[in-house]
Structure 1
């Protein structure tokens, strides 16, 4: 009988509601212990922005992913688990600098990002294009053709479009500054409203 009572007591404790503060403290402890034991390959957090919540994820090499809500943050995390490592943990402290620079950008206090980047989600020509995109200055735009010329492959206009459409680090790697030759927006991983908002933000500075 005492064994049953003890079992019931344990179940009662485990099923009792836990306040948000306790959960936050437990998560911070888990975060600290997991990182101290080198058990976290990808840290992530979600920050608010004028274009909706942005998922920020980083490896030890640098920021590896910025994702809009329309991409589905759960799906993005699953893709990171499949492509990079399943050892993922929400660890906002690891993303403090990235979150601060994102805030500064949207507050018109930052025109270029100064973050280590992990471009391993892209390969070959796509990665090459993404490496050159930060050369397009704040408030400026280029056409897909101009970017193709910039990277030394003037005929690879369509491939440049694909590289921009699959950019894993939108906002930070500014594919929103690349337009069609006729000046229309073209596609954007975060949707055309987000692309328009980013261009208007920079034009207003």
Structure 2
């Protein structure tokens, strides 16, 4: 696994690849990370992330390999990838969609353990009543990501 750092509107963002697919991501720098992509998977991931942060891309095509997680966590992470760009779901709604309506808090734990934030968009999950609660990258980053997606969605709708 190799890490590559890139600058973004949410600060340094670091992505891990295994040569062909994304297998991790982190907010901030990671020790021994490259500043230039070292392999095809990293080149594709960095290019797609740069386009996403520039508002030019609304989804990711780069292959993803999730390196860990319980069956429930993996179900939550799959459900996250189904949330359309620019939209949000509540923790409770995600719990219902994965078949455990009483597991809203467990969905929050799964969000916190998401090994590939942004690409697997845990920032699109919000609290009941639209509250912005919890985010491994900090609420300021969650707000910036949601604002980016809202702005791009509005621009695409009205132009």
TM-score, structure 2 normalization: 0.88
Question: 2: CA distance between counterparts of 1:166 and 1:193?
Answer: 18
After superposition, the C-alpha distances for 1:117-162 in whole angstroms (9 at most, x for unaligned) are: 1112322211111011011000100000000111111111111010
Listed as ranges, the gaps of 5+ residues in structure 2 are 153-159
Listed as ranges, the gaps of 5+ residues in structure 1 are 1-41, 78-88
TM-score, structure 1 normalization: 0.69
In structure 2, the partner of 1:58 is 17
In structure 1, the partner of 2:124 is 177
- What SS does the corresponding residue of 2:52 show, helix, strand or coil? helix
Q: Equivalent residues in 2 for 1:1-205 (5 A)?
A: 42-60=1-19, 62-69=21-28, 73-74=30-31, 90=34, 92-94=37-39, 95-205=42-152
Contact 1:61 1:118 in 2 (8 A): no
Question: 1: CA distance between counterparts of 2:71 and 2:110?
Answer: 10
After superposition, the C-alpha distances for 1:36-94 in whole angstroms (9 at most, x for unaligned) are: xxxxxx1221111010111111124621111001xx623xx7xxxxxxxxxxx747232
Contact 1:101 1:110 in 2 (8 A): yes
Question: 2: CA distance between counterparts of 1:183 and 1:73?
Answer: 32
Question: 2: CA distance between counterparts of 1:130 and 1:190?
Answer: 16
Alpha-carbon distance change, 53 to 127 in structure 1, aligned in 2, over 3 angstroms: same
Alpha-carbon distance change, 143 to 151 in structure 1, aligned in 2, over 3 angstroms: same
Question: 1: CA distance between counterparts of 2:23 and 2:5?
Answer: 14
Number of residue pairs matched by the alignment: 149
Alpha-carbon distance change, 99 to 60 in structure 1, aligned in 2, over 3 angstroms: closer
